[in-house]
Amino acid sequence: MHTKGGRARGFLYKLPMPKAVDKTRWRPVPAFGILYAIVTLTNFYIFDRITGLLGWGDVRISVIYAFTLSTLLLVGFLARTSSGRGTRGLFVTVTTAYGLEFATISGLIIFEIANLFLSLNPRNCGIALLLYTAVLAAISIVNAQLLGVKNIKLPFVKKLRIVQLSDVHIGAVHGRRYLKRVIDTVNTLKPDLVLITGDILSGAVPPGSSKLEHFGRLESRTFLAPGNHEFYEGMEEVRAALPKNVEMLRDEEVSMNGYSIFGLDYIREQGMSGTRKIDRKFHNPVIALAHVPQFLDLPDGSIILSGHYHAGQIFPINFIGRLFVKYFKGIYRNGGITLYVSPGTATWGPAMRFGSRNEITVLDLVPEMR
């Protein structure tokens, strides 16, 4: 039973015209309509259930909320300019709303199960769910601003100290100030190499933009393998925006002293999270950068560094993701090859983390492990 509440005030976002779409870079995805419907139904359930428990429920307002939030999310993806002035506020607002929904879902699951066996007071449960969401969201927002350093020791043919950055997503939420913290921390670690496994930005970054200038302060040789966000914005556009000291590798190999660095390109056929094969022979152990986690046909003793999944970033995705993603977070081994999947150096979407953390990874490689 729903009770009528107050009127919902409408609002409009004045958006800039999106840049022209290159049709060769986009393919219709039949499942997209199904996904849109699922997201809209989820929006409806969460909003309608909470307001209903509180006695404010109005199915019409719930429907408007559900479709508005789904549509604004779609607009944000299509505009693809989340770091621009016109859409930054929209991007932050909508993704934060989804972050709050994720925080609410776990509480609602507990409530629905308990409600099957217990006689619960609806209003008290509604208030408790709001408090639960507020506490979880506050912890997640604070955690998303923290920056941790993780040290890992791995066997390799050469003694090296490598720093891996991944999924920094400079743009709508994390900007120059956050990137400066990252670069300052990296420089204090004194690595031999800095290896970036994709998604350095979120949204369009024009050539010469100051958003990426702090990468130019890295004191070690730096390589980047592109991810899906570099693909979305255009590889050459991203290359032009990067400081000159960051070397982008697109299916390219750089020979070092007894080993090589290889950067796996990100191509259209991969979609959002697909893997790909390479037809290439390597003669020395390789440190490969592949944005989406996967094993490659490499010599024994090689190492693959990846990211992409953010370790789920938000509860309960970090638990659900482990059930569906083969290489989700941490160290994996296949024969003589080691894969490390970073949880990411920053966040994408809502600036929230719970059950995961932002990470700068220090890999100390040694010829022998004792």
Q: What domain range includes position 298?
A: 148-366
What CA–CA distances, in Å, run from 93 to 73, 85, 259?
10, 13, 46
Task: Check residue 209 and give its pLDDT.
Answer: 64
The DSSP bridge pattern shows strands 303-306 and 252-255 to be unpaired
What CA–CA distances, in Å, run from 31 to 18, 34, 36, 86, 148?
24, 5, 9, 29, 37
Q: How confident is the model at residue 18 (pLDDT cuts 50, 70, 90)?
A: very low
Query: Both 166 and 118 in a single domain?
Result: no
Query: Both 207 and 346 in a single domain?
Result: yes
Higher pLDDT among residues 9 and 65, named by residue = 65
Lowest mean pLDDT among 25-39, 103-117, 130-144, 341-355: 25-39
Task: Check residue 157 and give its pLDDT.
Answer: 94
| Residue 220 in domain | yes
| Residue 78 in domain | yes
Query: Both 104 and 165 in a single domain?
Result: no
Q: How confident is the model at residue 78 (pLDDT cuts 50, 70, 90)?
A: low
| Residue 1 in domain | no
Q: What is the pLDDT of residues 286-339, one digit of tens each?
A: 999 999 999 999 999 999 999 999 999 988 888 888 888 999 999 999 989 999
| Residue 7 in domain | no
Task: Check residue 205 and give its pLDDT.
Answer: 63
pLDDT above 70 for 31: no
Query: Both 348 and 210 in a single domain?
Result: yes
Query: Both 299 and 196 in a single domain?
Result: yes
Kindly report the pTM of this predicted structure. Answer: 0.84
| Residue 337 in domain | yes
Higher pLDDT among residues 350 and 19, named by residue = 350
- Using a pLDDT cut of 90, give the percent of the chain over it: 57
Q: What is the pLDDT of residues 198-221, one digit of tens each?
A: 999 887 665 556 788 899 999 999
216: left (phi over 0), alpha (psi -120 to 50) or beta: alpha
Query: Both 192 and 255 in a single domain?
Result: yes
Task: Check residue 111 and give its pLDDT.
Answer: 93
Q: How confident is the model at residue 369 (pLDDT cuts 50, 70, 90)?
A: low
**Helix 59-79, helix 85-117: angle, nearest 10:** 140
Task: Check residue 2 and give its pLDDT.
Answer: 41
Query: Both 226 and 304 in a single domain?
Result: yes
- CATH number for the domain including 198? 3.60.21.10
- Among candidate residues 96, 95, 97, 86, the one with its CA nearest the CA of residue 13: 86
Q: How confident is the model at residue 81 (pLDDT cuts 50, 70, 90)?
A: low
Task: Check residue 22 and give its pLDDT.
Answer: 46
Which ranges constitute the DSSP H helices of the chain?
31-54, 59-79, 85-117, 122-143, 176-188, 228-233, 235-241, 317-324
| Residue 4 in domain | no
Higher pLDDT among residues 42 and 79, named by residue = 42
Q: Which of 94, 111, 143 is the last residue of a domain?
A: 143
Q: How confident is the model at residue 9 (pLDDT cuts 50, 70, 90)?
A: very low
Q: Which of 118, 143, 168 is the last residue of a domain?
A: 143
Q: What's the mean per-residue pLDDT of the chain?
A: 85
| Residue 313 in domain | yes
pLDDT above 50 for 94: yes
Buried b (16+ CB within 10 A) or exposed e, 19-30: eeeeeeeeeeee
Q: How confident is the model at residue 13 (pLDDT cuts 50, 70, 90)?
A: very low
Query: Both 175 and 139 in a single domain?
Result: no
**Helix 59-79, helix 31-54: angle, nearest 10:** 140
Query: Both 129 and 213 in a single domain?
Result: no
Q: Helices H, strands E: what count in the chain?
A: 8, 14
Q: How confident is the model at residue 267 (pLDDT cuts 50, 70, 90)?
A: confident
Query: Both 283 and 159 in a single domain?
Result: yes
- Give the number of domains in the chain: 2
Higher pLDDT among residues 267 and 244, named by residue = 244
Q: Which of 97, 125, 143 is the last residue of a domain?
A: 143
Q: What is the mean pLDDT of residues 45-63?
A: 94
Lowest mean pLDDT among 17-31, 127-141, 169-183: 17-31
| Residue 283 in domain | yes
- Integer-rounded Cα Rg, in Å, for the chain is 22
For 348, which DSSP code? S
- Using a pLDDT cut of 70, give the percent of the chain over it: 85
Task: Check residue 200 and give its pLDDT.
Answer: 92
Task: Check residue 14 and give its pLDDT.
Answer: 33
C-beta of residue 187 within 8 angstroms of C-beta of residue 219: yes
Query: Both 128 and 158 in a single domain?
Result: no
Query: Both 240 and 325 in a single domain?
Result: yes
